[in-house]
Amino acid sequence: MRVLVFGTKGQVGSELKRILGPEDSVRFASRLEADFTKPQMIEQLIEEFRPSHIINAAAYTFVDQAEIDEALAFVVNAEALQVMASCALKVDAMLVHYSTDYVFDGSSQMSYEEGDTPNPLGVYGKSKLLGEVYIRESGCRYLILRTSWVISATGNNFIKTILKLAKVNEQLSVVNDQIGAPTSADLIARVTCDLIQKDEQDPLSSEIYHLSSSGEASWFDVAVHAINRAINAGVSLACDPNNVSPIPTSDYPTRAARPANSRLNSDKLETLLALNMPYWTDGVDGTIDELIRKGLLK
Ligand SMILES: NC(=O)c1ccc[n+]([C@@H]2O[C@H](COP(=O)([O-])OP(=O)(O)OC[C@H]3O[C@@H](n4cnc5c(N)ncnc54)[C@H](OP(=O)(O)O)[C@@H]3O)[C@@H](O)[C@H]2O)c1
């Protein structure tokens, strides 16, 4: 097995790097080695390294900024994937790619299954959906893993933002009418490694899978849980969990609209891998513990 990983400085990419480690059979490419605005860099790396598996963790992930930088979001999240998928086909590699709950409009009352009809609300979701379409149309072997609310001790995410705010503010207001499940980059990377190992033993068919923690929470629930966990672990914060107020999305306007329901149903993936996704609090707790270990919550 020869694995080429793109996007190794991001949340998921960093965890992939930690798990897959320094091996001759694994190549890690950050933006420096493969800038997705220069697709010939992607082509060259794949043709030189000739991987059996390509994992793409790179993406344009600035949801609000994408409304302004529309062209760039489509280049990185869609056009680069068209090139990557056609190279994967040429060298007969399996392409593992991450997509998002934001391909859905969030109007369903149920958790989203893989076959549900996408209808993205904003540019980011539209660009990620087109990336999916290009991969599926390319003829390459692929796994598209749609995930949600990614958290880790590296990079930017809700847990780091809320704890930073809780450090200096006695009161916080957090939206409670968007629901989903925080999913740790560590879980996503571990499941990805299980999938490529399984594919190596017995080739998998090309599919979309939903990969999300179990359970559900609003951003408000996640904030209260994170603040409680940090305080119980001895972190000094200005904000007491009782001083976090739930607010509607209408009181916290953002440039890009977000789905009210981001819940993804991971049953299909759980059946394939014979596993139960961990409850969302596990990933939040693990992230906070790692932030503490790294001295990032002082
Ligand atoms: N974050 C979430 O909440 C979330 C939710 C659902 C799905 N997802 C999906 O999950 C995947 C991983 O997300 P993540 O949170 O790990 O992302 P992330 O932390 O934002 O990392 C994205 C990586 O992509 C790289 N990148 C951006 N523009 C690039 C370009 N032009 N050329 C090459 N590399 C470029 C960035 O490089 P630099 O480090 O150099 O900036 C960064 O390392 C993505 O496909 C994302 O769409 C994420």
How high is the pLDDT of residue 23?
Answer: 83
How high is the pLDDT of residue 14?
Answer: 97
Give CA–CA dist 209/197, Å, rounded: 16
CA atoms in the 13 A half-sphere facing the CB of 76: 22
Which ligand 1 atom sits closest to the C-alpha of 97? 45
How high is the pLDDT of residue 86?
Answer: 98
How high is the pLDDT of residue 232?
Answer: 95
- For residue range 66-119, list pLDDT tens digits in order: 999 999 999 999 999 999 999 999 999 999 999 999 999 999 999 999 999 999
Q: 155 C-alpha to center of ligand 1: Å?
A: 9
Domain boundary assignment for the chain: 3-152+183-214+263-278
Take residue 94 and report the two structure tokens written for it: 């399996």
Which ligand 1 atom sits closest to the C-alpha of 101? 6
Give CA–CA dist 109/120, Å, rounded: 16
How high is the pLDDT of residue 90?
Answer: 98
Among 14, 45, 54, 61, which residue has the most ligand 1 atoms within 8 Å of its CB, making it the best to mutate? 61
Non-local (6+) Cβ contacts of 87 within 8 A are 42, 43, 46, 47, 93
Non-local (6+) Cβ contacts of 172 within 8 A are 162, 165, 166, 223, 239, 243, 244, 245
Contact predicate 64/256, CB 8 Å: yes
- For residue range 221-241, list pLDDT tens digits in order: 999 999 999 999 999 999 999
Average predicted confidence (pLDDT) for the chain: 97
Q: 181 C-alpha to center of ligand 1: Å?
A: 18
Q: How confident is the model at residue 33 (pLDDT cuts 50, 70, 90)?
A: very high
Among 31, 156, 192, which residue has the most ligand 1 atoms within 8 Å of its CB, making it the best to mutate? 31
Q: Give yes or no for residue 22 having a pLDDT over 90.
A: no
Instruction: Kindly report whether the global pTM for this prediction surpasses the value 0.95.
Output: yes
Give CA–CA dist 64/71, Å, rounded: 14
- Pocket lining for ligand 1, CB < 6 angstroms: 7, 9-13, 30-31, 34-37, 57-61, 76, 98, 100-101, 128, 147-150, 155, 185
CA 173, chain centre distance (Å): 25
Which ligand 1 atom sits closest to the C-alpha of 61? 20
Among protein residues, the one with the nearest Cα to ligand 1's atom 42 is: 10
Give CA–CA dist 80/160, Å, rounded: 29
Among protein residues, the one with the nearest Cα to ligand 1's atom 8 is: 100
Write out the H or E segment, with its range, that includes residue 98. Answer: strand 94-100
Which ligand 1 atom sits closest to the C-alpha of 13? 16
Average pLDDT over residues 123-140: 98
How high is the pLDDT of residue 117?
Answer: 98
- For residue range 139-148, list pLDDT tens digits in order: 999 999 999 9
Q: What is the CATH number of domain 3-152+183-214+263-278?
A: 3.40.50.720
Q: Which residues are designated catalytic?
A: 124
**Burial class of residue 67, CB neighbours in 10 A (0-12, 13-18, 19+):** middle
Q: 7 C-alpha to center of ligand 1: Å?
A: 7
Phi, psi values for residue 12, rounded to 5°: -70, -40
Phi, psi values for residue 8, rounded to 5°: -75, -5
Q: How confident is the model at residue 261 (pLDDT cuts 50, 70, 90)?
A: very high
Q: 252 C-alpha to center of ligand 1: Å?
A: 24
Give CA–CA dist 118/155, Å, rounded: 27
Name the residue with higher pLDDT: 101 or 296: 101
% the chain with pLDDT above 90? 97
Residue where the block lists tokens 């009782």: 242
How high is the pLDDT of residue 298?
Answer: 78
Q: How confident is the model at residue 21 (pLDDT cuts 50, 70, 90)?
A: confident
Give CA–CA dist 187/200, Å, rounded: 20
